[in-house]
Structure 1
Amino acid sequence: MVQKPIKEQKMVLIILLSNIFIAFLGIGLIIPVMPSFMNLMHLSGSTMGYLVAVFAVAQLVMSPFAGRWVDRYGRKKIITIGLFLFGVSELIFGLGTNVSVLYLSRILGGFSAAFIMPGVTAYVADITTIQDRPKAMGYISAAISTGFIIGPGIGGFIAEYGIRLPFFFAAGIALLACILSVFILKETLTKEQMAENVANTKQTNFLSDLKRSLNPIYFIAFIIVFVLAFGLSAYETVFSLFSDHKFGFTPKDIAMIITISSIFGVVVQVFMFGSLVDKLGEKKLIQICLITGALLAVASTVISGFLAVLAVTCFIFLAFDLLRPALTTFLSKAAGKEQGFVAGMNSTYTSLGNIFGPAVGGILFDVNIHYPYLFAAVVMAIGLGITMMWKEKELAEKLAE
């Protein structure tokens, strides 16, 4: 596939970004409906945490295989299978009446995210030039953040008409995206390239991939990917339960806060991310975001009132929104020819964070509703400490090779 400037590939990029947006939209849809679901099915905070975590466990188990398959069978095939699985999982969740069915749905959902994420990341890396790549990765990240954060917004508004409606809505748009991808996307790898990838990857497996990810060049970035996912998911999983229990906010209030915050974050991300990276570099931007995130997570426990909650949430989401593309850009620059491996591992470490974050957040929530936020702050402070050990020289040497 020829690498062209972003301007000449608008249609393909729109389809790819829509796909990843839809996947994360579906993950977010569940959030504002959680308190109502909790009451309807008599579930505890920890069960809600586990429902979010099991999605990530499934994603984790499937990610390394999906990363390989993206290089072996082609980007398009893996992306469309992922969208189809995602539609089915949302449908099952919407129809589910007992907890085991909900778990099954979340497992299928996790598999689908593992397919879509590395597929889209590798596809974008294939079609963009090195100069355009940070911008394109910024767009992917904006799509993820928008989906993840606007999902609750849409979920909250649709839930007014029925608590199960958001899930049927997500299933419908996922299947539509799947059909569009089949007809519009072209495979970026030739048969020869796929065969070459198969030959190169025969000797490796998940454990050896995990071992390779411990290479200092990647490892610190992967650890921060983990810390970010952990902190963000602990914060987000509990956010709707916290707002419901502490302030008595309705699904619509929660949806409004999350929607406004997400629009604010995404606008800044799309228009300013490129220039912020140019000015500060990835490392400094990541550090500023971690400091902001930690301070605001602590602030979340002492504020009250709709506007105060809205203001703090806006800036905490903005910090997370800028962190993610800064890391993805850093990793895709370090990856060279190993885009599939790095995208797969990025997904793996994200899943690890998404497993432990909600599970720990849900358990702490049952103890004291403020604990998950304080805990998220501590996790981000640890992440900040880790960035201090980052050696940019090593990365520059690796790129020079």
Structure 2
Amino acid sequence: MGVSSIAPALPKMANVLEVSNERIGLLITAFTIPGMFLTPFLGVFADRIGRKVILVPSLFIFGIAGTACAFATDFTWLLILRFIQGIGGASLGALNVTLIGDLYEGNRRATAMGYNGSILSVGTAAYPAIGGGLALLGWFYPFFLTLIAIPVGLFVLAKLDNPEPDNHQNIKSYLGDILNALKSKTVIGLFAANFLTFIILYGGYLTYFPILLDEQFSKSSLVIGIMLSGSSLITAFASSQLGNLTRRFAESTLIITAAFLYFGVFLSIPFIENIWLFTLPIIVFGFAQGINIPSILNLLTHQAPKEYRAAFLSVNWTIIRSGQAVGPFLLGLVYGAFGLNGTFWISSTAALCFIAVGFLMIRP
């Protein structure tokens, strides 16, 4: 929600707030930066004092600051509020996956990760369309969607019954165990894969693909949102089948396959001149997301015992946030230097790096 709901409105925000296309991606970067620094610490606290103690306040901050963005009077204030919203969002993704890891084991965990990916993708599918439609009323209306986080926080506080870690290990041993686990070649490879995935997603797809649709095809924010939603629906379907797919294929194979698909998608985008021909890369990108992200998360969850799972997965979430922050910023520089097509060439180059990581570090 923090990104997908406002992505279709970015061109309109740039126009209304009189911000260049090179700078508008900072709205995504400002949201993601807090997660780069805070998430590991929040993960440690979640392991030591409990998941809900961190989760509930995070939801409240996310909802309140996100809604406040709608009342920002200039770009600077909007960036500040997005940063505060990012503080609230810093722990949410990591704790979501941590709770699934706490509750499920084995193939049931893979299936649960797939269903979680499907639910996230349905949200990712709905939010661009809803956000794009709301942006027709005004650039600030998509920010009101984050109000939903407040009742969700109240529900979690009252109803969530999850196992909490019984962690009496001293902090030095606890941190030592985490560091030893993080030294694994496979874990480092999975972190690198996630970093590259989110550079591609947040830079090439969510920031500069909408700008392409606006600049070269003059599409409204609603149409852009619907097009972005299309890939998320495919992601939802692919993710829901992860349990079945992992019975037939190794998760490392699914991850490497996704990297090849990313490469093909972004290599093709600059050559497409008919709006309807974007249907194929949108479908392929959605499928790649559906088999890639849940597979990475499931492999990482398998590497971490419950006693330090939140901290372990929080490091991964920091990597994700780093990719989310670097993607729009890096491609903004590329856009300024080489134009719109350059952003897609760099995205395909990132996919090539992903392929190399998959074969050298993730594949058994």
TM-score by length of structure 1 reads 0.84
* TM-fit CA distance, 1:376: 0.6
Q: Distance in 2 between matches of 1:296 and 1:150?
A: 22
Corresponding residue of 1:4: none
1:108 aligns with 2:84: yes
Per-residue deviation, 1:71: 0.7
**Are 1:142 and 1:266, in contact at CA under 8 Å, matched by a contact in 2?**
yes
Match of 2:153 in 1: 178
- Amino acid of the structure 2 residue aligned with 1:374: W
**Deviation string for 1:286-332 (max 9, x for gaps)?**
11111011111111111122221233212112212221001011111
Q: Is the 8 A contact 1:150 1:258 kept in 2?
A: no
Shift in Å, 1:238? 1.1
* CA distance 1:377–1:185, change in 2 (3 Å): same
Per-residue deviation, residues 346-381 of structure 1 (Å, max 9, x unmatched): 101101111111101222223301111111100011
Distance 1:171 1:232 in 2: 21
Deviation at 1:229, TM superposition (A): 1.1
- Give the Cα separation in 2 of the matches to 1:134 and 1:187: 19
Instruction: Give me the whole-angstrom Cα distance separating, in 2, the residues matched to 1:262 and 1:304.
Output: 23
Letter in 2 for 1:335: A
Q: Quote the offset at 1:214 in angstroms.
A: 3.8
Q: Which residue does 2:266 correspond to in 1?
A: 297
Query: Amino acid of the residue matched to residue 267 of structure 1?
Result: F
Distance 1:369 1:391 in 2: 32
Q: Does structure 2 retain, via aligned residues, the 8 Å contact 1:217–1:334? A: no
Query: Given that residues 191 and 316 in structure 2 are in contact (C-alpha distance below 8 angstroms), is that contact kept between their aligned partners in structure 1?
Result: yes
How far apart, in 2, do the equivalents of 1:340 and 1:147 lie? 24
1:160 maps onto 2:130 in alignment: no
Q: Report how far residue 149 of structure 1 moved.
A: 4.4
Larger mean CA deviation between 321-330 and 146-155 belongs to 146-155
**Within 5 A, what are the aligned runs for 1:230-245?**
230-235=199-204, 236-245=206-215
Aligned pairs, number: 361
Q: 1:315 aligns with which of 275, 279, 284?
A: 284
- Which residue is 1:15 aligned to? none
Whole-angstrom distance in 1 between the partners of 2:32 and 2:264: 27
SS of corresponding position for 1:359: helix
Q: Does 1:28 align with 2:18?
A: no
Preserved contact between residue 283 and residue 387 of structure 1 (Cα < 8 Å)? yes
Distance of 2:273 and 2:363 partners within structure 1: 42
The normalised TM-score by structure 2 is 0.93
Cα deviation for residue 103 of structure 1 reads: 1.4
Q: 1:370 aligns with which of 341, 354, 357?
A: 341
Letter in 2 for 1:39: N
User: RMSD in angstroms over aligned alpha carbons?
Assistant: 2.1
Alignment of 1:58-77 (within 5 A): 58-77=34-53
AA aligned to 2:45 is W
- Cα distance in structure 2, aligned partners of 1:133 and 1:276: 13
Separation in 1 of the partners of 2:215 and 2:114? 35
Q: Which residue of 1 aligns with 2:318?
A: 348
Contact 1:86–1:109 (CA<8 Å) still a contact in 2?
A: yes
* Cα distance in 2, alignment partners of residues 33 and 212 from structure 1: 41
On the 8 A contact 2:121/2:233 being kept in 1, the answer is no
2:105 paired residue number: 129
Give structure 1 stretches of 5+ with no counterpart. 1-24, 394-401
- Aligned-pair identity in percent equals 21
Gaps of 5+ in 2: none
Distance 1:391 1:291 in 2: 15
Shift of 1:187: 4.4
Structure 1 pair 132/211, CA: closer, same or farther in 2 (3 Å)? closer
| Paired AA for residue 117 in structure 2 | S
Could you tell me whether the CA contact under 8 Å between 2:189 and 2:362 is conserved in 1? no
TM-aligned CA distance change 1:123 to 1:157, over 3 Å: same
